[in-house]
Amino acid sequence: MVLHFLIRGRVQGVGFRWFVHREASELNLRGWVRNTEEGDVEVVVAGETEDLNDLRASLRRGSRGSRVDNILEHTLDESEAASLDAFRIQGAW
């Protein structure tokens, strides 16, 4: 299963991408996380349904110092998974 999340709230400048990276990596998920120019955080992730449910719960909880106001979620076509490797942060130094 491949999912796209857009997380809105106070999610930039509070370690949210690093939090998502840690959570997704522990679940052996593939994909990426990045900041958007609008101040949100975007995630594309592939894995087993149960692991994705665990990640979804973590996204709702958020990192320490963050505030998650809203999460938009879309299911992507399975073919999107072909281009996804080990979970990574895009745009990080």
Q: What residues are annotated to the active site?
A: 17, 35
**16-48: string of b/e by CB count within 10 Å (b at 16+)?**
bbebbbebbeebebbbbbbbeeeebbbbbbbbe
- 41, 45, 53: which is closest to 15 by C-alpha? 41
Sequence-ordered list of residues with C-beta below 8 angstroms from that of 85, at least 6 positions apart, any chain = 30
Identify the DSSP state of 39: S
